[in-house]
Chain A
Amino acid sequence: MAEAAILCRDLRKYFADVKAVDGLDLTVERGECFGLLGPNGAGKTTTIEVLEGLTAPDSGEVRVLGMTWKENERELRERMGVSLQETQLADKLTVYETVRLFRSFYRNGPDPDALLHELSLDEKRNARVGKLSGGQKQRLAVACALVGDPDILFLDEPTTGLDPQSRLQLWEVVAQFRQQKGGTVLLTTHYMEEAERLCDRVAIVDHGHLIALGTPAELIARLETRNIVEFTSEPPLPASACANLPGCHGVARHGEAWQLRVDSLADAVPRVIDIIEQNGAKLVTLSTHEATLEDLFVSLTGRELRDT
């Protein structure tokens, strides 16, 4: 069997003021879609850029498709497609001209027009890049990643800042790449939902360390409880109000909002309402959901994903 698509051992990259990657081990199998998840500043981008051969690590071993950046850079570049965070393509070129330019860099690859059709960009073929919407720009960035017919695709926060519909369209593109070509995908995101929908396996990183690794389902199962109750009240409850709630495994407060991890919604919800009444307060909002990777992240780090 071929060597893993990505293999990295004890990867370290320190910048002057921060240990961006601090001893990371990862293995991504061929054909797998692997998600690197974590808040901003967790080291996701540094990690992916080291794997892409754009940043040299301080130490550690990196092998992509069984090759190393030192020995096989050109070959690797031919077989890899990337979409970087924050790259702005030339505003004054049209969509077609941009894809055509990128196509010229690769030995093999699809016809630019066929690719634009596949990414539903054919209507925008002759539009200037500067006039595209955020979602269209992102699809164009992915088109430029796919234009060399890659075996492995690196996507750094491909859907950050996109509306839900554009996000769905991009997920569709990634799914197609895997289906038609059996390609490997490594993506970073801070959207847990994206990781759950797209990824076979997920690594949660924080401060340059791996803090959890597994399939989304496995990771969620690590939470002792599967249900989350969130509520707010007027006036807000005192800090100790929900301390001794039976069947509750964790309490977190974010401002005035309470978040409880409970065994059973049927038991917990009436109790919460009782507590609010006992404190002479009124319930303002109440919601419940099944635990997600987001909740796992909170339980692992004590912090939220997005606003750290």
Chain B
Amino acid sequence: MTPSKIGPPIIELARARTKEFLRETEAIFWVFGFPLLLALVLGFAFRDKAPDKVPVGVAAGPTAQQRLAALQKSDALQPRIVTDGDDALRHGRISLLVSGGPELVYAYDKTRPDALTARSAVDDALQRAAGRRDPLVPAQTFVREQGARYIDFLLPGLLGMNLMGTGMWGTGFVIVNARMKKLLKRFIATPMRKRDYVLSHFLSRVVFLVLEVGVLVAFGWLVFGVRVNGSVLTLALLCVVGGFAFSGLGLLTASRARTIEAASGLMNLIMMPMWLCSGVFFSYDRFPEAVKPLIKALPLTILNDALRGVMNDAMTLAQIAPKMLWLAVWGVATFLVGVKIFRWQ
């Protein structure tokens, strides 16, 4: 290996930081392996499939066989003959019970959507079997919107969550570790400029960003067919700004902590609400109106909304610019405060 020319401190610090990271096996897993695993598991758990057939019961009796045959023609139903109809209904083993002799009796819980589906399908099947002719026969088009599946919603959320996790841990953990090992103290005994040290963390994050975003987006595309509907460049820029915001937050979190334990607690305290509220796994629309403004101000919410905007809704740079600006404000503000109160030794 021929030594290359030694660059300015900020470049050398970022280079050293990057090498250190790439040699940290556990970190590699948490940055790359974990989100992929999560995407894989959740993607399959919520993959698209036809809705389950609704189980319905036909009370045993003289007409039972005939009714069963009629119901079996419906592709929405899974009918069977039952002798303990009321019991099966109560325990949810069937959604609807067909009983009665010549007259038809439906028993079901009208607050359950599956029971309503059953009601409609059962009635259609039996009426048709009894000779009903539908005056209108509609042609049907089945629509599958790319971008409307759960995985399409999930993947940008995972991307945002990953940017938050790596941004905060990648910056915060390393700084606290260096402080504990008195490496920070050793650095400030040299002519190194303090801002170079801090900025080098941001710089090396950009290198990892390219890797982690690239891996997750490529994975979503190859395995689940999740496409980036907007511009890839816009997505890249958004990720850099988002990564910067969370590096700033990580720096701020780590700026005073003396031990890894203290920093970990603080990090989790900051990240936990965002994991839950910022729309990673489910939309924050489910929260009460009163707290929504608060949720929308969180950096992960801003980032997730912008990511979904670009990936799902093909928003342009101009359209997500306000969100990027807010992320930048988060980054700059946390960075400035973090540097101001930073404990070097």
Contact = CB atoms under 8 A, between A and B. Distances in A.
- Chain B binds chain A: yes
A77 B191 contact: yes
Interface string A182-193: 000000000000
Interface string A241-267: 000000000000000000000000000
Interface stretch (A17-25, A92-100, A167-175, A300-308): A92-100
Contact of A78 (B178, B186, B191): B191
A128 B23 CA distance: 10
A103 B345 contact: no
A77 B189 contact: yes
A106 B182 contact: no
Nearest to A88: B181
B12 A100 contact: yes
Interface stretch (B3-11, B35-43, B97-105, B242-250): B3-11
B93 interface: no
B24 interface: yes
A116 to B, nearest CB: 11
A93 B181 contact: no
Contacts of A92: 19-20, 23-24
19 contacts: A77-B190, A77-B191, A84-B186, A86-B182, A87-B182, A87-B183, A87-B185, A88-B183, A90-B178, A90-B183, A93-B20, A101-B16, A105-B9, A105-B190, A105-B191, A106-B190, A106-B191, A126-B1, A148-B191
B185 A54 contact: yes
Nearest to A113: B3
Nearest to B184: A87
Contacts of B12: 100-101, 104
A62 B179 CA distance: 26
In this complex, the interface size class of chain A, counting residues with CB under 8 Å from chain B, is: 20 to 34
A196 to B, nearest CB: 28
A103 B191 CA distance: 10
Question: Considering residues B6, B11, B186, which has the most beta carbons from chain A within 10 angstroms of its beta carbon?
Answer: B186
Interface string A38-66: 00000000000000111000000000000
Given A88-B181, A107-B191, 9 more contacts: A54-B188, A77-B190, A77-B191, A84-B182, A86-B182, A89-B186, A92-B19, A97-B19, A104-B7
Interface of B: 1, 3, 6-9, 11-13, 16, 19-20, 23-24, 178, 181-183, 185-192, 345
Contacts of A104: 6-9, 11-13
Contacts of B182: 84, 86-88
A105 B189 CA distance: 10
A54 B345 contact: yes
Contacts of B192: 105
Contact of B3 (A54, A89, A96, A128): A96
Contacts of B188: 54
Question: Considering residues B9, B185, B188, B191, which has the most beta carbons from chain A within 10 angstroms of its beta carbon?
Answer: B191
A100 B9 CA distance: 10
Nearest to B178: A90
A100 B20 CA distance: 14
Contacts of A33: none
Contacts of A82: 186, 189
Contacts of A84: 182, 185-186, 189
Contacts of B3: 96, 100, 112-113
B283 to A, nearest CB: 41
A86 B345 CA distance: 13
A240 B303 CA distance: 82
A93 to B, nearest CB: 6
A74 interface: yes
Nearest to B188: A54
Nearest to B7: A104
Interface string A263-302: 0000000000000000000000000000000000000000
Contacts of A88: 181-183
A72 to B, nearest CB: 11
Question: Considering residues B6, B187, B188, which has the most beta carbons from chain A within 10 angstroms of its beta carbon?
Answer: B6
B13 A101 contact: yes
A130 B187 CA distance: 18
Which 7 pairs from chain A and chain B are nearest by CB?
A104-B12, A88-B181, A77-B191, A105-B190, A105-B192, A92-B23, A92-B20
Given A101-B13, A104-B9, A54 B189 contact: yes
A89 B190 contact: no
Contacts of A97: 16, 19
Given A88-B181, A88-B183, A102 B190 contact: yes
